[in-house]
Amino acid sequence: MHAMRRLLALTASALLAMPAAAQAHGLVGRRDLPVPSWLFAWAAAAVLLVSFVGLGALWHKARLYKAPEHRVFRVPAWFEIPLGALGVALLGLTIVSGLFGVQIDTANFAPTTFFVALWVGVPFASLIVGDLYAAINPLRALGRATGWLGSKLSGGNVPDALVMSERVGRWPAAVMLFAYAWVELAFPGKTDPSQLAVVIIIFCLIQAVGMSLYGTDQWLQRADPFTAWFSWVATLAPLRWERGTLYLRWPTVGNAKRRAIAGDAAIVIVAIGTTTWDGLSGGDILGPPLANLSNDVAKLGIFGVTWSNAVVQTFGMLIVVGLVTALIFAGVRGMIPASARRAAATRPSPDAPADGSPSPAADLDGAAPAGIDGAAATATITRPSPAPADGETKPATRTGPPPVRRLVREFTPTLVPIGVAYTVGHYLSLLAFQGQAFLPLLSDPLGHELLPGQGGWLGTAQWTINYTWLTSNAIWYLQVAALLIGHVMSLVLSHDRALERFPRKRAARSQRAMLVVAVVFTCTGLWLLSAVG
Amino acid sequence: MTLLPLAHLGHWYESVAYAMPMIVIGGVLWYTSRKERLAGHDGEEHWDGEDDPQWDDDPRLRDDD
């Protein structure tokens, strides 16, 4: 099995390339664990192995995608307005404080809001309450308000929104997500509130132009990195909101129900890869070599010192994202036996027309799913098969295994729990401690020097951060639990999807490669986290 | 100075300890797959397409978009 061999080789090379590292944003703390930290990786791998065997033995039918959801209650439509207004107010405050507030990153509202509340706080909350960002998204609120106003002023004569190509899918969001991670990890001005505010303004302008051309909802779903990633995170939540109605379901069921389109795999890969690089680059081991490398780049005289570091960070991010991509592709490719792939490559497709024109099955192979109505709130699926002469629709049939690209699109979203687990693991301490600064900064967003007793707008400006409420050991155990739960959830989702897509025996066999992927991510994640302290 | 190599050995020992589950599980699965392939039981003969209607019939007709 060549794919499995490649997977092992890739794993080995990744291990050689990644010495121990510390997390960049986590607070360093000294742990006093009763057993060596690597034993946690062994235990986690054992749990994954037992889960894999248990799923193969006991879980014989795909059931998650058709699991029921129960309607809980409905909120009035006007409820969207104050939530949107709240988002707009926070966005405005972030920009104003960044531009006009004190230019110290820890005393200014903008960096904590942009890097902690948005990137860490919102996904944490979305895991419980569902897609929170969709409700408070300021761009959505502004886009809808502008659209409503434009429609009123023009008497309804608003030009139709352009329809984004299916092949484009959510690729713009994936690119923007990488850009956000670049700002967070590599941009030299990331600690300068005014530069950060300019970046946010540029981002908003890009989104505004896109929304005006493609419509608010379509553009945000396809090109807003936060809408795209957080909506995937929210698929794991037990609650789901749809048009003001709240539904209750089992956690992770939403992931199985959601259909992936082009670019979704890239979003998951970018989320996992950039978080991994964040943990890797901030450590004591890789930190000094990276600093030396930045100095060497600076000596070339092409970039300044700060931008040389940005160049090194950018290449590092690209390399790690590439490694994660290769690992996932190898894992998904390993789901199909090599002999089946070889046989499929040499077997002519029965769908191939004699005149050499593209076959209907070729449409299925492409990156874009068939028949998604991007402009609509719901998607409909049409079959690309040509109608037979008698007018009946006949599904296209395929010989041999499905192409790897399609499998990647179908199965990578099952790795969303791993991406979330990495986020929780890497940024838990950041949220637990730096997150406490949100309310004090909200009370005094411009960072004025307040007299003793002055509490700012909300009276919380003098609140201080409590660094003792969570011990280093507690953080470690929570990180291990998050990683373990995330990876087991991912195995369950992948197994269920395989059962949905393959006959039972083939489904169980296909998951061996995904088990290796899950074990690699678990051990690597714990390795990165263990280096703190 | 004499302790320096030992320190590095300790570092790599721990790194290898983290890698062991990947190596063991990956190795066992690779060996199993290889054995099945050599015995002709890797399932290639069943990929005839006709029993895979699911690929052309996505049951998830609702998108969260």
CA distances from A61 to A53, A133, A280, A407, A412 (A): 15, 33, 39, 19, 20
The separation between the first and the last C-alpha atoms of chain A, rounded to the nearest angstrom, is 40
Contact criterion met (CB below 8 Å) for A281 and A185:
yes
Least confident of A132-141, A154-163, A326-335, A385-394: A385-394
Q: 3-state DSSP call for residue A259?
A: coil
Select the residue from B13, B28, B29, B37 to test the A interface by mutation, using most A Cβ atoms within 10 A.
B29
Cβ-based contacts of A231 with chain B (< 8 Å): 64
Cβ-based contacts of B21 with chain A (< 8 Å): 41-42, 44-46, 519, 522-523
Least confident of A54-68, A69-83, A241-255, A447-461: A447-461
- Torsion angle, CA of A136/A235/A224/A72, rounded to 10 degrees? -30
Residues A88-106 have pLDDT tens digits of 999 999 999 999 999 988 8
Per-residue pLDDT band for A348 (boundaries 50, 70, 90) equals: low
pLDDT at B57: 53
The angle, 0 to 180 degrees and rounded to 10, between the axes of the packed helices A171-185 and A264-281 is: 10
Distance CA A408, CA A406 (A): 5
pLDDT at A105: 86
- Contact between A397 and B49 using a beta-carbon 8 Å cutoff: yes
Q: Which of A1, A221, A505 has the CB atom closest to B33's CB atom?
A: A1
Q: How far is A115 from chain B (nearest CA, A)?
A: 25
Cβ-based contacts of A49 with chain B (< 8 Å): 25
Q: Is the pLDDT of residue A300 over 80?
A: yes
Q: Is the pLDDT of residue A245 over 60?
A: yes
Per-residue pLDDT band for A170 (boundaries 50, 70, 90) equals: very high
Least confident of A85-99, A191-205, A228-242, A327-341: A327-341
Question: What is the distance, to the nearest Å, from the Cα of residue A393 to the centroid of all Cα atoms in its chain?
Answer: 37
For residue A266, the surrounding DSSP H or E stretch is helix A264-281
CA distances from A273 to A176, A252, A268, A421 (A): 14, 22, 8, 13
Contact criterion met (CB below 8 Å) for A524 and A32:
no
Distance CA A525, CA A487 (A): 11
Least confident of A72-76, A516-520, B56-60: B56-60
Q: How far is A416 from chain B (nearest CA, A)?
A: 15
Which of A4, A339, A60 shows the shortest CA–CA distance to B46?
A339
CA distances from A430 to A116, A117, A348, A434, A437 (A): 7, 10, 55, 5, 11
A245 phi, psi to nearest 5 deg: -110, 135
Residue A13: CA atoms inside 13 Å, Cβ hemisphere, count? 13
Select the residue from A523, A529, A532 to test the B interface by mutation, using most B Cβ atoms within 10 A.
A523
- Contact between A41 and B17 using a beta-carbon 8 Å cutoff: yes
pLDDT at A451: 66
**Taking residues B14-23, what's their average pLDDT?**
86
Q: Is the pLDDT of residue A351 over 90?
A: no
- Torsion angle, CA of A364/A419/A70/A379, rounded to 10 degrees? -30
Q: What is the DSSP letter of A71?
A: E
| Beta-carbon contacts of residue A227 (< 8 Å; ≥ 6 apart) | A133, A134, A137, A140, A173, A220, A221
Identify which has the larger pLDDT, A53 or A283: A53
Contact criterion met (CB below 8 Å) for A484 and A522:
yes
Kind of pairing, strands A245-248 and A239-242? antiparallel
Least confident of A12-16, A167-171, A374-378, A461-465: A374-378
Is the reported ipTM for this assembly greater than 0.95? no
- The one-letter amino acid code at B43 reads G
pLDDT at B50: 43
- Contact between A49 and B11 using a beta-carbon 8 Å cutoff: no
Q: Which residue of B has its CA nearest to A42?
A: B21
Q: Which of B30, B49, B58 has the CB atom closest to A5's CB atom?
A: B30
pLDDT at B55: 53
pLDDT at A390: 45
Q: Which of B14, B33, B61 has the CB atom closest to A512's CB atom?
A: B33
Q: Is the pLDDT of residue A167 over 60?
A: yes
- Contact between A398 and B56 using a beta-carbon 8 Å cutoff: yes
- Contact between A400 and B59 using a beta-carbon 8 Å cutoff: no
Cβ-based contacts of B23 with chain A (< 8 Å): 8, 11-12
For residue A352, the surrounding DSSP H or E stretch is none
Which of A81, A113, A78 shows the shortest CA–CA distance to A94?
A113
Per-residue pLDDT band for B40 (boundaries 50, 70, 90) equals: confident
pLDDT at B42: 63
- The one-letter amino acid code at A196 reads L
Q: Is the pLDDT of residue A210 over 90?
A: yes
- Contact between A516 and B11 using a beta-carbon 8 Å cutoff: no
Least confident of A118-132, A277-291, B7-21: B7-21
Which of A240, A261, A492, A524 shows the shortest CA–CA distance to A371?
A261
Least confident of A29-43, A69-83, A216-230, A472-486: A29-43
- Contact between A530 and B18 using a beta-carbon 8 Å cutoff: yes
Only one residue has tokens 């990153």, namely: A105
In sequence order, what are the beta bridge partners of A74? A245
pLDDT at B58: 55
R_g over Cα of chain B:
23
Cβ-based contacts of A516 with chain B (< 8 Å): 22, 25-26, 29
Contact criterion met (CB below 8 Å) for A230 and A131:
yes
pTM of the model: 0.82
Residues A409-434 have pLDDT tens digits of 989 999 999 999 989 888 888 888 88
Cβ-based contacts of B50 with chain A (< 8 Å): 397
Query: How crowded is residue B61: how many other Cβ atoms within 10 Å of its Cβ?
Result: 12
Least confident of A13-17, A83-87, A521-525, B56-60: A13-17
Least confident of A62-71, A140-149, A382-391: A382-391
Q: Which of A12, A519, A530 has the CB atom closest to B25's CB atom?
A: A519
Q: Is the pLDDT of residue A503 over 90?
A: no
Distance CA A69, CA A141 (A): 28
Q: Which of B26, B43, B63 has the CB atom closest to A516's CB atom?
A: B26
pLDDT at A385: 39
In sequence order, what are the beta bridge partners of A242? A245
CA distances from A137 to A112, A230, A261 (A): 17, 11, 22
- Contact between A259 and B58 using a beta-carbon 8 Å cutoff: yes
Name the interface residues of B facing A (CB cutoff 8 Å). 11, 14-15, 17-23, 25-27, 29-30, 32-34, 37, 42-44, 46-65
pLDDT at B60: 52
Contact criterion met (CB below 8 Å) for A134 and A146:
no
- Contact between A378 and B44 using a beta-carbon 8 Å cutoff: no
